[in-house]
């Protein structure tokens, strides 16, 4: 999975900083040649390496809804953070997650610009690797830092995020794009990430595997149950990511 994600990252960089054709998808989110090139590489290589495991990608034009009921399937975001890619901030990722019985059991989050890769196997812990480097274990921060470090989306901060920041006025607010928000929690650089607008399963599966293998949790909000996969249309509701479950209790429902 790591080698496939890193190869896809190199594919995206062929278009980075170049003139782009940006199309609008049905949900008005942007789509570029880089998204499609990464999608084609990942899906082809996953199907070659793991022909028995179906693949769901954000860029599937005719997505097979029946895959949601499969015991095992890959969930792929070929380029997470397309807006960041277009703005050339470097804060975009390639995400490959493996779901088994409704739960993410392994994941790769690769950052093409820096070459950094985050990974997880829930049986073997979470790790971070520099470009061409050996994986180094990462852990969430437990107990949470004081004051809290809250990570919020650059483009998708909703009213509950604003309310959370008002509850903790001394908190440090960190802003970054794509699934790197989850990774900040996973490696102990942030304590909480609240996402109060919907996401899709390909936005979260790989990073959730990393967070949970590092000792944290990705929860539905406000119900605070572990996020599961194979939902109708692969859609998530509001999410709360914490480095330690005791922090979820503190934040309340």
User: What's the confidence (pLDDT) of residue 74?
Assistant: 98
Domain end call among 91, 117, 138: 138
What pLDDT, on a 0 to 100 scale, did the predictor assign at position 2? 96
The answer to whether 90 is annotated as binding is no
- Do 161 and 243 share a domain, yes or no? yes
Are 66 and 54 in contact by the 8 Å Cβ rule? The answer is: no
238 shares its domain with 153: yes
CATH number for 239: 3.40.190.80
Gap between the Cα atoms of 200 and 198, Å rounded: 7
Residues 133, 156 share a domain: no
89, 193: one domain: no
pLDDT at 27: 81
Let me know whether 77 and 30 are in one domain: yes
Q: Please indicate if the annotation marks 58 as binding a ligand.
A: yes
Shared-domain flag, residues 98 and 169: no
Q: How many domains does the chain divide into?
A: 2
Based on the domain organization, do 50 and 113 belong to the same domain?
Answer: yes
Residue 203 assigned ligand-binding role:
yes
CATH number at residue 17: 3.30.540.10
- 143 lies in a domain? no
Looking at residue 221, its pLDDT comes to: 92
Instruction: Answer whether residue 193 is part of any domain.
Output: yes
Q: 178 — phi, psi (to 5°)?
A: 60, -160
Six-digit token string for 156: 């998708």
Q: Is 93 assigned a ligand-binding role in the annotation?
A: no
46 in a structural domain: yes
Let me know whether 212 and 234 are in one domain: yes
Question: The domain containing residue 31 runs over which residues?
Answer: 2-138
Which pLDDT score is estimated for 115? 97
Phi/psi region, residue 234 (left: phi>0; alpha: psi -120 to 50; beta: rest), is left
Task: State whether 157 and 236 are in the same domain.
Answer: yes
Question: Is 31 annotated to bind ligand?
Answer: no
How much is the pTM? 0.95
Is 79 part of any known ligand binding site? yes
Q: Is 77 annotated as a binding residue?
A: yes
**98 and 193 both lie in a single domain:** no
**Tokens representing residue 28 in the block:** 């008005």
List the pLDDT tens digit at each of the 253 positions of the chain.
Answer: 999 999 999 999 999 999 989 998 888 889 999 999 999 999 999 999 999 999 999 999 788 888 999 999 999 999 999 999 999 999 999 999 999 999 999 999 999 999 999 999 867 899 999 998 999 999 999 999 999 999 976 556 678 888 888 899 999 999 888 999 999 999 999 999 999 888 999 999 999 999 999 999 999 999 899 999 999 899 999 999 999 999 998 887 4
Cβ contacts of residue 72 below 8 Å, gap of 6+? Answer: 53, 98, 99, 100, 101
SS3 category, 128: strand
**Coil, helix or strand for 85?**
helix
Does any domain span residue 144?
no
């Amino acid at each position: 999975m790591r080698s496939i994600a890193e190869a896809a990252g190199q594919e995206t960089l062929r278009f980075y900083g170049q003139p782009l054709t940006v199309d609008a998808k049905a949900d008005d989110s942007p789509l570029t040649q880089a998204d499609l090139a990464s999608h084609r590489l990942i899906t082809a290589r996953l199907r070659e390496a793991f022909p028995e495991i179906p693949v769901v990608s954000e860029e599937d034009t005719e997505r097979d809804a029946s895959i949601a009921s499969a015991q095992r399937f890959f969930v792929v975001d070929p380029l997470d953070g397309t807006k960041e890619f277009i703005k050339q901030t470097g804060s975009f990722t390639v995400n490959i997650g493996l779901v088994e019985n409704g739960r993410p059991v392994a994941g790769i989050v690769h950052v093409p610009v820096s070459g950094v890769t985050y990974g997880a196997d829930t049986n073997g812990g979470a790790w971070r690797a520099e470009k061409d480097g050996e994986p180094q274990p990462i852990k969430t921060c437990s107990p949470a830092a004081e004051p809290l470090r809250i990570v919020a989306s650059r483009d998708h901060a909703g009213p509950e995020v604003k309310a959370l920041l008002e509850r903790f006025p001394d908190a440090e607010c960190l802003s970054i794009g794509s699934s790197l928000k989850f990774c900040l929690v996973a490696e102990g650089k942030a304590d909480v990430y609240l996402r109060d607008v919907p996401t899709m399963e390909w936005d979260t599966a790989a990073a959730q595997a990393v967070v949970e293998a590092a000792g944290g949790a990705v929860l539905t909000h406000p119900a605070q149950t572990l996020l599961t996969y194979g939902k109708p249309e692969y859609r998530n509701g509001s999410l709360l990511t914490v480095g330690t479950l005791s922090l979820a209790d503190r934040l309340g429902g």
